[in-house]
Amino acid sequence: MFEHKGVNKILYGGDYNPEQWDEATRDEDMIMLPKARVDMVTLNVFSWARLQPSENVYDFSDLDSIVKRVTDKGMKICMGTSTAAYPAWMAKKYPDILRVDFEGRKKKYGTRHNACPNSPTYRKYSVLLAKRLAEHFRNQDNIVIWHINNEYSGTCYCENCERAFREWLKNKYGTLDKLNRVWNTAFWSHTFYDWDEIVAPNELSEYPGGSKSQFTGLTLDYMRFSSDSILQNYIDERDAIKGVINDALCTTNMMNVFKGLDYRRWAKEIDIASWDNYPQKFTSPYYDAFAHELIRGLKGGEPFILMEQSPSVTNWMPINSLKRPGQMRRFSYEAMAHGADALMFFQMRQSPAGAEMYHGALIDHSGRDDTRVFRECSAFGEELKKLGNAPLGGKADAKCAIVFDWPTWWALEDVGGITSRVRYPDEILKFYRALFESNVPVDIIGPEDDFSKYRIVIAPLFYMVGDGVKERMEDYVSKGGILLFTYYSGYVDENAHILKGGYPGCLRELIGARIEESDLLYEDMDHFVCDGVWIPGHVDDMSNSFTYNGVEYPAYKICDIMYVEGAQVLSVFNEDFYSGHPAITRNSMGKGFTYYVATSSSAEFYSDLIKNLCDEAGIGNAFDMSIEAVKEWEGIEIAVRQNDAKKVYYLINHTDEEKEVMFPFDGEELTENVRVEAGQTVTLAGTGVKVICVKL
């Protein structure tokens, strides 16, 4: 990733914000950071007000002194552009920079991540700052990457955004006629005769007190527009930097499974993906792994930077629990196992005041280097040094992919009539979890990605079918691929307009069945709220059930009522008036098969289903063994990254108990430098990790 900068190990460090403290503290930092084996710091993420104290004055002197200090210590720099929090004087002088929120309120100055993306002031001064920074540091060789803005997020509904939205729509649709047709504006008399009649969809317009839009097509486009507007801010800064330093690498730190921005579109503009991971005590390891895979998948499986994690606690949960001894190391290896080639913390030293003063840091308020956290971080820094370049550059070689798509997420969760019990990522995670717990390598891909390298493609809730996707899916299956859909597949086109002919629309031939109705199931509850009215009464737990492989599994949330048109029925619903109708089908097309799962079920079901699919496709786990073989290694994650010369296996114990794993190859354990013979039992301490390199 950074070989051209002479980097031959996992870079290690994090956000360093010394603008908050005095010279003496900075002196101490320069002794302590090297002690912890920190070799990269992220600078200048929130310094705009200091860099530009007034409209025509730029002052980089303090940043220069920080850059000099860390450079003298041989550290690399991830250079921020500081544009995620603008100066107060700018908001006072140019209020167009302030956002209008969902409720329609013009914001005042405060907090961060708050610029209107279409504000002329923001667009001018953020780009100018990026350009000046690039000019100032063009010869600063230890800058390995530029960190533009920080955790881009949020939506603005101001008049500038509305105007820009209309331009965006003109560009997309060309004519109002087309827009009216695609949005079906004949509904509720919405026909637009002038572009200026179109307003932003917020609480003042299409969301009267509810959380679902009253005009889905418009809202969907506004979400796309909003994501694109903010992306344009990124692109403008990036271009300003690259205009000065043409081989500069640029990134921005993404967030997890984040709904607001279509990261797949963003990734095309980013050189190296990076993201911030803040697992809590109760976060399941499969969730973290999924988030890593999601980010890794954005750039075709290339390594990414873990830009932030806390060495200990966060400050933004109601209750911020400590990372237990060994947990930071375990989470770090999990990131590496799924593609991270740099590990960074937020942050190097705790703030002396402000919202984040109780957030964990390498150096806490005591300033000591013998705290548990400092000792763990230093020991891990030493370990990474020892691993050298061995973990770098490997990729996964997954034969199974899961499709995850942002516009699908937006459209599906924003329209009335879809059960509010379904959350798109949760349903995707059910499949991912089954694969993760069987240690099967998985790529997370988009609907536009190449399916042909996978033996199984799982497309849960494939609600929105974009142009040409059905044809590519048919081609994939015909050539021998295994494709899986679930309920809520094949409903709308990319503009949230219903596909013709009933569900599953254009996927009907692939699935070999049609869905006439879907029964949405209640949870066990003794009252419910409908249109703001509290309706008393008792609704029983209305789950249904189906029998698969001789086991009865629960059917939750939704049951499609299907009529097969050529598909084989593998399981039927057991109850209600549609008892006997298919719950799971399998249809053949050419050399391949399409599965359809007509309901949502329990973890046990997905695990059973995944095992059968993998057997059918001839896919094994990370050891290339049949999934069944490692069932007894519960709580152990096994992941592999590889290149032409070697495979690096990560054996991660997510439990507190000691575990044993049979390792099937000859290799070398890198953290302890010991040989491992094929068939040898490897012991993992509670939360322990082994990293075993196998030469090819």
Looking at the Cβ atoms of 361 and 638, the one nearer to ligand GLA is: 361
Which long-range CB contacts under 8 A does 622-630 form with residues at least 24 apart?
A: 622/439, 622/440, 622/441, 622/649, 623/439, 623/649, 623/664, 623/665, 625/664, 627/438, 627/439, 627/440, 630/438, 630/439
Instruction: Name the residue nearer to ligand GLA (CB basis): 28 or 356.
Output: 356
Q: Which of 42, 81, 119, 150 binds ligand GLA (CB under 6 A)?
A: 150
Binder of ligand GLA out of 151, 293, 334, 608 (CB under 6 A)? 151
When the beta carbons of 82 and 587 are compared against ligand GLA, the nearer one is: 82
Asked if residue 192 lies in contact with residue 198, where contact means CB atoms within 8 angstroms, the answer is: yes
List, in sequence order, every residue forming a beta bridge with 395; answer none if it has no partner: 642
Instruction: Work out whether 292 is an interface residue with ligand GLA (CB under 6 A).
Output: no
The residues facing 243 across adjacent strands are: none
Does 116 engage in binding with Zn ion (CB under 5 A)?
yes
364 binds ligand GLA (CB under 6 A): no
Figure out which of the listed residues 101, 239, 356, 668 binds ligand GLA, where binding follows CB under 6 A: 356
Please report, as a single letter, which amino acid is at residue 577.
Answer: F
98 binds Zn ion (CB under 5 A): no
Residues 6+ apart with CB under 8 A from 694: 646, 647, 648, 649, 665, 666, 667
Question: Under rule CB under 6 A, which residues in 311-340 are in contact with ligand GLA?
Answer: 314, 316
Residues taking part in catalysis: 151, 308
The yes or no reply on residue 17 touching ligand GLA (CB under 6 A) is: no
Query: Least distance in Å: CB of 412 to ligand GLA?
Result: 27
Contact partner, 116, from ligand GLA, Zn ion, none, Cβ < 5-8 Å per class: Zn ion
The length of the chain in residues reads: 696
Whole-Å CA distances, 408 to 134, 220, 491, 502, 596: 38, 9, 10, 18, 18
Tokens describing residue 38: 């920190």
For the segment 261-280, give every residue that binds ligand GLA (CB under 6 A). Answer: 276, 278
* 3-class DSSP state of 178: helix
Pairing between β-strand 274-276 and β-strand 304-308 as defined by DSSP bridges: parallel
SS3 of 19, please? helix
By CB under 5 A, tell whether 161 contacts Zn ion.
yes
Stretch that binds Zn ion, among 62-70, 148-156, 278-286, 487-495 (CB under 5 A): 148-156
Give least dist CB 46 to ligand GLA, A: 7
Among 7, 32, 158, 464, contact with Zn ion (rule: CB under 5 A): 158
- Omega of the bond leading into 325 within 30 degrees of 0 (cis): no
Q: Smaller CB distance to Zn ion: residue 195 or 358?
A: 195
CB neighbours (10 Å) of residue 224? Answer: 19
Shortest approach of ligand GLA to residue 51 CB, angstroms? Answer: 17
User: Which range binds ligand GLA by CB under 6 A, 155-163, 308-316, 478-486, 627-635?
Assistant: 308-316
Q: Indicate whether 200 belongs to the interface with Zn ion (CB under 5 A).
A: no
Q: Are the beta carbons of 391 and 641 closer than 8 angstroms?
A: yes
**d(Cα 154, Cα 218) in Å, to the nearest integer?**
18
Task: For residue 215, report the phi and psi dihedrals to the nearest 5 degrees.
Answer: -145, 85
Q: Binding of ligand GLA at residue 288 (CB under 6 A)?
A: no
Please give the full DSSP string across 629-640, using - where no structure is assigned. GGTT-TTEEEEE
Partner from Zn ion, ligand GLA, none binding residue 161, C-beta < 5-8 Å depending on class = Zn ion
Toward Zn ion, which CB reaches closer, 92 or 138? 92
Q: DSSP state, 175?
A: S
- Contact 311/377 with Cβ under 8 angstroms? yes
**Total interface residues for Zn ion by CB under 5 A:** 5
The minimum distance between CB 168 and ligand GLA, in angstroms, equals 28
Q: Is 152 in the site for ligand GLA (CB under 6 A)?
A: no
Interface residues with Zn ion (CB under 5 A) are 116, 156, 158, 160-161
Q: Where along the sequence are the contacts to ligand GLA (CB under 6 A)?
A: 150-151, 276, 278, 308, 314, 316, 346, 356, 359
